[in-house]
């Protein structure tokens, strides 16, 4: 091959994009042709310069990353926060409810559970339409709903994953979601909901337990090992927070 043809192959040659056969031919030519070899070296030098110039670090990457994590799902943010050993006071955020409620005899409870199921379906079909709450908003909303702070279920092994607002039956509830390694517990808080649900409702592995305070419901899996502890703890916590 002539130099003219080799020159065209130098670009893919330095990019490692030639077939073994072509690369061998080019290499062979370069061995015996100083001008082409110099040209190849020039391209390599140019590439190095371009790489260095093109990869100058950008500022503000962390902020963008945080923004993306927030928009993707709070779980990301939660994981990151833990990993970073983040400031203790901070609340962790939000959650997707996977709860299925029964159709119990209590009509209010039926309506409530139906509404939550509908909400859950909506969440699944539009996973990014959720508005996850910032920690400060959670504090503010809970205060508005009559809780001084976030109930602490840590002694029962549950940490708060997050909070969101949901609207079953056109009543806004603050939904707090707690997790341990494998289980979820949710508290629904609303001061507008004045009628308490009666009894424990069970179906498909989920349980809804009305707590004493008028509009706080504990939702948990039936199989939860420390269910009782959690419930008692939640009652105590909420009692303390609202008294």
Partner 1 sequence: MSSRASFETEALPHLEALLRTAVRMSGDRARAEDAVQETYLRAWRSFRTYQPDTNCRAWLFKILVNVIKKAAGKKRHDPLAAAEDVETTPKVVQLFPNADAGETQDIMEAVQQLAPEFRDVLLLVVVEGLSYKDTAHTLDIPMGTVMSRLYRARREIRRWLTMPETPRQERKPGHGM
**199 contacts partner 1 (rule: CB under 8 A):** no
Rank residues 21 and 55 by Cβ distance to partner 1 and give the closer one.
55
**43 contacts Zn ion (rule: CB under 5 A):** no
**181 contacts partner 1 (rule: CB under 8 A):** no
Among 55, 107, 181, 182, binds partner 1 (CB under 8 A): 55
Query: Closest separation between CB of residue 33 and Zn ion, Å?
Result: 3
**65 contacts partner 1 (rule: CB under 8 A):** yes
Which option in partner 1, Zn ion, none does residue 12 bind, with CB closer than 5 to 8 A by kind?
partner 1
- Please report, as residue ranges, which positions from 104 to 143 form the binding site for partner 1 (by CB under 8 A): 127-128
Q: Is the distance from CB of 224 to CB of 202 less than 8 angstroms?
A: no
Among 1, 27, 50, 225, binds partner 1 (CB under 8 A): 50
Among 19, 20, 21, 58, binds partner 1 (CB under 8 A): 58
Residues that bind Zn ion (CB under 5 A): 3, 33, 36
Residues that bind partner 1 (CB under 8 A): 8, 11-12, 15, 17, 42-43, 46-47, 49-51, 53-55, 57-58, 61, 64-65, 67-68, 71-73, 75-76, 79, 127-128
């Amino acid at each position: 091959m002539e130099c003219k043809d080799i020159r065209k192959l130098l670009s893919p040659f330095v990019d490692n994009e030639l077939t073994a056969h072509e690369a061998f031919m080019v290499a062979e030519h370069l061995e015996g042709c100083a001008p082409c070899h110099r040209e190849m070296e020039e391209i390599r030098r140019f590439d190095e310069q371009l790489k260095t110039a093109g990869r100058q670090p950008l500022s503000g990457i962390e902020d963008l990353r945080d923004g993306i994590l927030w928009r993707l799902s709070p779980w990301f943010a939660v994981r990151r926060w833990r990993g970073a050993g983040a400031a203790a006071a901070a609340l962790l955020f939000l959650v997707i409810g996977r709860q299925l409620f029964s159709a119990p005899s209590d009509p209010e409870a039926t309506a409530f559970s139906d509404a939550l199921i509908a909400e859950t379906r909506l969440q699944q079909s539009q996973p990014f339409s959720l508005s996850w709450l910032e920690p400060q908003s959670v504090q503010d909303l809970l205060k508005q709903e009559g809780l001084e702070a976030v109930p602490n279920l840590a002694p029962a092994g549950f940490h708060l994953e997050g909070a969101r607002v949901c609207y079953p039956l056109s009543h806004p509830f603050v939904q707090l979601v707690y997790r341990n390694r494998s289980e979820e517990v949710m508290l629904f808080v609303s001061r507008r909901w004045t009628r308490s649900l009666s009894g424990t409702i069970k179906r498909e592995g989920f349980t809804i337990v009305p707590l004493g305070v008028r509009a706080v419901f504990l939702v948990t899996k039936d199989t939860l090992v420390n269910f009782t502890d959690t419930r008692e703890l939640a009652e105590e916590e909420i009692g303390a927070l609202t008294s």
